[in-house]
Amino acid sequence: MKFTTKKIRMRQLIQTVLSTLILYFLVVDAWAQLSVASFPSKPIKVIVGYSAGGAVDIVARALAQSMSQSMGVPFVIENKPGAGTNIAVRALIGSEPDGSTLMLAANALAANMALYQPAPFDAERELSVVSLVGSVPVVIADRSDSPFKSIAQVIDFSKKSPNSITFASPGNGSTPHLAMEIFNYAAGIELTHVPYKGGAQAITDVLGGQTQLLAMNALEVLPHVKSGKLRVLAVLSAKRTSMLPEAMTLSEQGFPGFEASVWYGLIAPLGTPEAIIAKLHQETQKALSSQLVKEKMTSVGGDVTLASTEQFKQLLHNERVRYQRLIEQAHIKPD
């Protein structure tokens, strides 16, 4: 009789626990559905890991303007430059996963997992991808009055005087930085890297003569090329760009297959509800189809990229593997 009573009590306890768990999950599900249904209910912050005025900032503001009009809430850009965008990524990882905080990331998201040891984060496990946005080719440029009028002249001078030529980039671990380090390796030369916290200051110092070469995406360089202040020595895309038709690719100048472009993509904290990710992806695709964003990208030599979240996930994985291989081959270290 005593044993039977214990069994009854155990059954009652199990039933109580199961009922509580069911109620809990029903409440959580209802709350999640309510959150998704009311999303967005407050301003959305977009973190940018570079200083204001740079390429990522320009693209983020155009995208934010379009999405704000469509979604009916303010989009606020928050610039968090430094540590090759690692500061910005860590801030995003620590944010509430409710769709109210996003980040417009670039290639550094994939590269930094290989460049910095130990890795500062695992983007594939600690973040949720939302949508690819677009891509812009990297260029190598210098001042119009510079003595270097071709890549061949840069290589020749550098071989005679190693480390005597400096190049500015928008940041340690950025695509332009890594592209130049790989170029160093491929050309057998030694150019000295001068990292900045974004493209705007890097361009200012090249124009002012503080650094000699500039590794940057075409988006930021183009206005200064049009004004006659900068000269493009090489475009690092597979083919010449219509925005800079006279600028030769690096492949045309003795480095076949050399290609480097900057891609942009929206990401969110891990744990953001799938329905909110889907909503943000849908709205991003809508913005990318808008005239505002299209004109902003294409007018500076970039291309809008329409892709699924799965395609973005695959790109991130492939880029991580690619950068790991390139960084090891060229023995690249963070400055």
15-58 pLDDT tens trace: 776 667 666 555 445 444 545 678 999 999 999 998 888 888 88
Per-residue confidence (pLDDT) for residue 21, from 0 to 100: 64
Cβ atoms within 10 Å, residue 183: 24
Superfamily of domain 38-135+263-330: Bordetella uptake gene, domain 1 (3.40.190.150)
Say which residue, 243 or 206, is predicted with more confidence: 206
- In this predicted structure, the answer to whether residue 278 has a pLDDT above a threshold of 60 is yes
Query: Domain extents for the chain?
Result: 38-135+263-330, 137-253
Region 87-100 average pLDDT: 96
What was the pLDDT predicted at 326? 84
How many angstroms from the chain centroid is the CA of residue 21? 41
Q: Cα(152)–Cα(146) distance, rounded to whole angstroms?
A: 14
Question: Thinking of the domain 137-253, which architecture would CATH place it in?
Answer: 3-Layer(aba) Sandwich (3.40)
Note the pTM of the prediction, 2 decimals: 0.79
Q: What is the pLDDT of residue 291?
A: 86
55: nearest Cα among 105, 8, 96:
105
pLDDT tier for residue 237 given thresholds of 50, 70 and 90: confident
In percent, how much of the chain has pLDDT > 90? 63
Give the ranges where the chain is alpha helix by DSSP (H): 2-38, 55-71, 86-93, 108-115, 123-126, 151-160, 175-187, 199-207, 218-226, 274-288, 291-298, 309-330
Alpha-carbon span 90 to 76, nearest angstrom: 18
Please indicate whether the domains covering 38-135+263-330 and 137-253 agree at the CATH topology level.
Answer: yes
Q: What is the C-alpha separation between 65 and 62, in angstroms, rounded?
A: 5
- Give the pLDDT score at 4: 63
